[in-house]
Structure 1
Amino acid sequence: MTRIDLSSLIKAYDVRGTVPDQLSPDVARAIGAAFARVVVLPEAGDATRPSVVVGHDMRESGPELVEAFASGLTDAGVDVVRIGLCSTDGLYFASGSLGVPGAMFTASHNPAVYNGIKLCRAGARPVGQDTGLAEIRELAGDFLGDGLPEPADAPGAVTDREMLADYAAFLRGLVDLSGIRPLKVVVDAGNGMGGYTVPAVLGTGAGLPPLPLDVVPLYFELDGSFPNHEANPLEPANLRDLQAAAVEHDADLGLAFDGDADRCFVVDEHGDPVSPSAITALVGLREVAKELEQGRTPTVIHNLITSRAVPDLLHAAGAATVRTRVGHSFIKAQMAEHQAVFGGEHSAHYYFRDFFFADTGMLAAMHVLAALGSQPHPLSALADAYQPYVASGEINSRVADVPAARARVVEAYVTQQGAGPVTTDELDGLTVSHWDATPQWWFNLRASNTEPLLRLNVEAADEDIMEKVRDDVLSLVRDTETDASDTPEEQA
């Protein structure tokens, strides 16, 4: 057997690469054939005729790749339901509501030359490294090296279906915005799929009644070349247009979506960013209150980079919290295991039990609008209650020797501390905490899986302490020989 190595294309969470040198129609066809045999056919068994729902974002390469992927499925005897243009959470909605596996063709915030595939099982359950993606990578490599199997005796059929209106109506049913006070909201879609979904959900584009929202659109034209700025709001430079427009239009808030619109970032009326941790606390408290009203004990998931304010506020409200590693596959697994009502990450991914345990930036945005519009205060005042501490943001350092740099930090903060007030854990990288003593601070240092980088996050009760810990750890990490850059982590 001659296996083609696809490890540079099919990673731990999804398929992501440049078109066409890494992700070509032939590769997409092989991945479709492998997806059919690893996930779709075993999941269907003998009970039903297997089916997969497939969508794509606004990238020019999407339709051709979808066609090739669909042929790999239909040759294996699997029906394909094409829903055309959609956001990633729109694809999750289709998978969850139709009860079939799904495939979303997107490279999220990556530049135009990229495309990719996010795969899920029926009910929007994730397909990751440990839940089928490694097997898909190997089998697709075999098919590329030795040829695809002979087509099934009864090939699958391809049908087209419109899901946008159903998606919009479903979200409207989860958060009622009809009674809020009038709000002006600037939305920066970054020429991504937010320009397709926002008019349907927050406007009347899907035939739904108007809401008390005055939406000021920025870059709603779908354009996979991203002519205005990258569709990655985690990078501060890509928020500048939204920040300026929020002030210029005297808006109540601003929303920014990434390329596939599964993440949402928020700025207040002054254009100041509201941290994803604050949004996690705000939305989490709304979902917790709803659970308590129903007589249920709520659980909320958060990753270990989110602010300590998140568990503090949620515990005070009567919720249990579960701290997880960074990454959507870990969050989704914990969401399902604990039947959690909500989950949040520092990268602005927000997960909802009522949305098939999947992440949706649009539903998080609707919760923010509901919270703001149901009380008289500006968002800056509302957000202050959810972000009492000072955080560094994620700082990346490119180092020549990652283990040696980490060892210097361990020596300074763990070995020399002895049995003092500092506590440590290695759930995901190294977390060192001085939170139960004075002054309060903690930091997490994680290595990148793909580059010689160390990622540092620091939080403290006041800015002076945060800066002191940040600068001290960075001096240990970077030493005198390393090249360093302060760039935010990119998460799709």
Structure 2
Amino acid sequence: MSTSATTSYQPAMEFNAITINSFKAYDIRGELGVNLDEDIAYRIGRAFAQILYQRYQAAIENKTNDMADLKPAIVIGSDIRHSSEQLKQAAIKGIMDAGIDVIDLGMTGTEEVYFATSYYQALGGIEVTASHNPINYNGLKLVKEHSKPISADDGLAEIQALAESGQFTTDNQSGQLQLLTDKSAYIDHVMTFIDIDKLKPLKLIINSGNGSAGPVVDLLINRLTQAGAPIEIITLHHTPDGSFPNGIPNPMIEANRLATQQAVLENKADLGIAFDGDFDRCFLFDENGVFIDGSYIVGMLAQAFLNKYPSESIVYDPRVIYNTEAVIEAHNGNAVISKSGHSFIKQIMRESGAVYGGEMSAHHYFRDFFYCDSGMIPWLLTIELLSITGKTLSELVTGYIQSYPSSGELNFRLTTHDAPTIISAIEEKFSIDNPTKSLLDGLSLNFGEWRFNLRASNTEPLIRLNIESRGDHSLLASKTQEIQQWLAVQGAVPA
């Protein structure tokens, strides 16, 4: 669909300096009416467009080849939250007032903005979403040319400063707005990741959590059906609904997994799939309804990619590493570790040319998807892998879990000390054992047969703990209990 459109938001006539405290390390997230509203979204959209266009003009003047084919336009989409459309309209007005054209993608997931930014050769893209945050929150995820991330030290702070100052250029002709909601090109691209002819009969449960995933799932089901793939799909909480009648779509919360687990068992399905609100994360359940921790999915997909692309690089984060590193070594890949967070992973992937990157938080990144994360590609790759190997998901990951058990991510709220104080104290506590230390992302201490990572969250007021061992489940249990008890003494309360 392609139509011209207009935006209804009208900004203030004058812009006083304000403080905007919804900017995070690599995105914008805030509580509605507290540190995020339509006026702030307008300022962010206008600052974003102005800064990107200035960079574009400088690149053209300097004949920078990687920007020569770009168009002075920004793509934008929004999730299903009730506040998202209004925030999107405000951001659109800001972009247009900066003199930049806008391509409105309609209701989308974040990865659709990633795709469209590169597909339409735009200067950048915005997804209005709060992902899995509470219903009274929202935010904006920003990317620049070629779907590259923007972080605090690579443009985001500059955007914040301009948005806060309100010192916008005023001599630009207003940009034009176009509505392009056809998802065909995006679906075409996603489907290139698998060979449909290799698919064997499988029954799937797909839980969209009443988020933005439903329409895309429908389109993928149609493609699979048209191609004659013997895949039966049962949808759950499928209709997009910004009131989230079945709870905020966040499968990281154990209580939110129950519906998918029950549906897998009741329907005797081969695989359960669940998404967060903007479906940039994909969560998998085996044929027994067991939730599979994301770190083991990283190992499984790393193995699948190395089977297809020998000796390629695989990027992973430092929270849980034993299994991933063992898989990469066994399949002659090149292991590349990166700080957690999408902007860091994507940068390291581009630098190393990695074919795949994964985080235990269920973010999966693909070189052939502009080095971006996708929630749709992982489950398609998984059904292809189940079909090719003839194994169940539990059979594919049981060896990983037994060889390298982990605690899963444990979250704590701090009531007495701040995160740096806690991290420094725990380093001192274990220094007597002379572990191998890494400060790449928080604190990682490796004792040979077990290790842990303790880090402050980039998006929430939490510290996050992960512990793993080399096949010793008793050691894992004892060390997990020991560190949890120590944290409790320091005033760290389980979240």
Q: Same fold (TM over 0.5)?
A: yes
The letter for the 2-side match of 1:77 is: G
SS in structure 2 of the partner of residue 326 of structure 1: coil
1:391 corresponds in structure 2 to 406
The letter for the 2-side match of 1:243 is: Q
1:88 and 2:110 aligned: yes
SS in structure 2 of the partner of residue 374 of structure 1: helix
How far did 1:321 drift? 0.8
1:313 and 2:313 aligned: no
CA distance change for structure 1 residues 425 and 175 in 2, over 3 Å: closer, same or farther?
Answer: same
1:193 corresponds in structure 2 to 212
How far did 1:386 drift? 3.2
2:433–2:447 Cα contact (<8 Å) kept: no
How far did 1:31 drift? 0.8
1:473 and 2:491 aligned: no
Tell me, which stretches of 5 or more residues in structure 1 are unaligned?
Answer: 488-492
Q: TM-score, normalised by structure 1?
A: 0.90
1:333 corresponds in structure 2 to 347
1:109 corresponds in structure 2 to 132
1:417 and 2:433 aligned: yes
Equivalent-residue separation in structure 2 for 1:291 and 1:79 (angstroms)? 40
How far did 1:151 drift? 5.0
Equivalent-residue separation in structure 2 for 1:21 and 1:408 (angstroms)? 34
Q: 2:292 aligns with which of 274, 298, 301?
A: 274
The letter for the 2-side match of 1:401 is: H
Q: CA RMSD in A?
A: 2.0
1:428 corresponds in structure 2 to 441
How far did 1:44 drift? 5.0
2:463 corresponds in structure 1 to 454
CA distance change for structure 1 residues 29 and 408 in 2, over 3 Å: closer, same or farther?
Answer: closer
Equivalent-residue separation in structure 2 for 1:190 and 1:451 (angstroms)? 22
The letter for the 2-side match of 1:393 is: G
CA distance change for structure 1 residues 185 and 474 in 2, over 3 Å: closer, same or farther?
Answer: same
1:128 corresponds in structure 2 to 151
SS in structure 1 of the partner of residue 433 of structure 2: coil
2:280–2:363 Cα contact (<8 Å) kept: yes
Q: 1:288 aligns with which of 303, 306, 325?
A: 306
Equivalent-residue separation in structure 2 for 1:262 and 1:252 (angstroms)? 22
1:279–1:368 Cα contact (<8 Å) kept: no
1:365-384 alignment runs, 5 A limit: 365-384=379-398
Equivalent-residue separation in structure 2 for 1:462 and 1:12 (angstroms)? 36
1:445–1:454 Cα contact (<8 Å) kept: yes
The number of residues matched between the two structures is 467
1:66 and 2:88 aligned: yes
Of 298-307 and 46-55, the range deviating more from structure 2 = 46-55
How far did 1:408 drift? 3.7
CA distance change for structure 1 residues 349 and 451 in 2, over 3 Å: closer, same or farther?
Answer: closer
1:249 corresponds in structure 2 to 267
2:64 corresponds in structure 1 to none
Equivalent-residue separation in structure 2 for 1:62 and 1:428 (angstroms)? 32
2:417 corresponds in structure 1 to 401
How far did 1:365 drift? 1.1
Q: 2:371 aligns with which of 357, 363, 372?
A: 357
1:171 corresponds in structure 2 to 190
Cα deviations by residue, 1:148-185 (Å, 9 ceiling, x for unpaired): 54251x32111111341111111111212333111100
The letter for the 2-side match of 1:233 is: P
CA distance change for structure 1 residues 374 and 245 in 2, over 3 Å: closer, same or farther?
Answer: same
1:32 and 2:45 aligned: yes
How far did 1:449 drift? 5.1
SS in structure 1 of the partner of residue 233 of structure 2: strand
SS in structure 1 of the partner of residue 95 of structure 2: helix
1:188–1:218 Cα contact (<8 Å) kept: yes
1:111–1:226 Cα contact (<8 Å) kept: no
CA distance change for structure 1 residues 443 and 321 in 2, over 3 Å: closer, same or farther?
Answer: same
The letter for the 1-side match of 2:195 is: D
1:445 corresponds in structure 2 to 454
How far did 1:216 drift? 0.6
Q: TM-score, normalised by structure 2?
A: 0.90
SS in structure 1 of the partner of residue 222 of structure 2: coil
Cα deviations by residue, 1:76-117 (Å, 9 ceiling, x for unpaired): 111111111111111111112222111111111112222211
Of 237-246 and 32-41, the range deviating more from structure 2 = 32-41
CA distance change for structure 1 residues 160 and 208 in 2, over 3 Å: closer, same or farther?
Answer: farther
Tell me, which stretches of 5 or more residues in structure 2 are unaligned?
Answer: 1-14, 61-67
CA distance change for structure 1 residues 164 and 467 in 2, over 3 Å: closer, same or farther?
Answer: same
The letter for the 2-side match of 1:464 is: S
CA distance change for structure 1 residues 452 and 280 in 2, over 3 Å: closer, same or farther?
Answer: closer
Of 19-28 and 316-325, the range deviating more from structure 2 = 19-28
Percent of pairs with identical residues: 35
CA distance change for structure 1 residues 87 and 407 in 2, over 3 Å: closer, same or farther?
Answer: closer
CA distance change for structure 1 residues 267 and 158 in 2, over 3 Å: closer, same or farther?
Answer: same
